[in-house]
Structure 1
Amino acid sequence: MSLKKSILLIFIILLIDQVSKIYIKTHFVIGDDVEIFKWFRIYFIENDGMAWGTKISDFIPSISDRTAKLSLTIFRVVAIFGIGYWLYDVTRKQSSKILVVSVALIFAGALGNIIDSVFYGAIFNDSYGQIASFLPEEGGYDTLFHGKVVDMLYFPIWKGYLPEWIPYYGGKYFTFFEPVFNIADVAISTGFGMLIVFNKKAFSKE
């Protein structure tokens, strides 16, 4: 798979990701919930940290939330250059199509969430109790590099109380699948999943 085709794939994923996020941000209030199917809902939340809302400050309490957020965003920006070089390298070496597609998916997903983290705080106002505006006159809800990632895909496939015999979680109310995510997250997860499942083909010596 050529670099041009990889860039096209990245562009398509980025376009879908950003269009969906901007639509949700400018049409939904935080917490709005629309049922599509019983097992699939559009549920608007914003993620200020890493996966499942985890923050660096959760592990290092001495760091403020704002410093942790800035550090995470800078790390993501640095990481995307590394992933970008990896993509360039595997296409230059004409590596397996699975490897190239996987890296392209990871790059597209990472870049999609970086756009939120870097720019959304400056170009949107907040979504609490109101529908956000794009480029509001009073300014955004935060500064550059302090934006929150927009999530909206929610798949509560099963909800209920777990059997008592299950260790630790027995008798507790449980939802499968609990996390709320976005298109960029899907791309990253798919890319990593392909690398794991098709590891031998992706990293074949040939």
Structure 2
Amino acid sequence: MIRILLVDDHAGFRAGLRALLSAAEGIEVADEAASGEQALALVGRAQPDVVLMDLTMPGMGGVAATERLTRDHPHVRVVVLSMSDDDDSVFAAMRAGARGYVLKGARKAELVRSVQAAAEGEAIFSPAIAARMTAYFAERERSEPALPELTRREREILALVAEHLTNPQIAARLGLSQKTVRNHVSAVFAKLQVADRAQAIMRAREAGL
């Protein structure tokens, strides 16, 4: 039996959620809280496996309550159940330790699955939230430069090394002294932990330079 603690400041919403979840096999609503402070006070007595946590409540909000709860009761899984679907809310909840994020208005099957998944130690997200997270990380990956450990100038020089240019040719191309180019090439080798130009060229091609 999965024990649930409901945390939301709207009594009517809690009542509807209790009725919905209580009708699901294998789920028991252990208690309810109307605020983050009340949730922290009840969790020891209620002994929930999963906490369904609203974010926006008077007093201690859901993010702060999640952070405290997951720190003091690491065995308890928190799933945020909120109207807020903006990136700031989602990632604040994840940083606080939430195991999932489900939007209010989700169908019964989605809510039940989120509770079951969290109890099993899985992370669970509403489809819309999962799609936005995927897009967010894909955009971050695209915006991050290849080989971020290198400076812009070092990446530029590595790209020319990958074109099989010699140090004098690179110096002429970029208007630098040969000594400066040698220093940059040495720095590239050290940062990439390669021994020679052939290995550096291989790393450059792997990175798409």
TM-score grouping bracket, smaller chain normalisation: under 0.3
The normalised TM-score by structure 2 is: 0.18
Larger radius of gyration: 2
The normalised TM-score by structure 1 is: 0.18
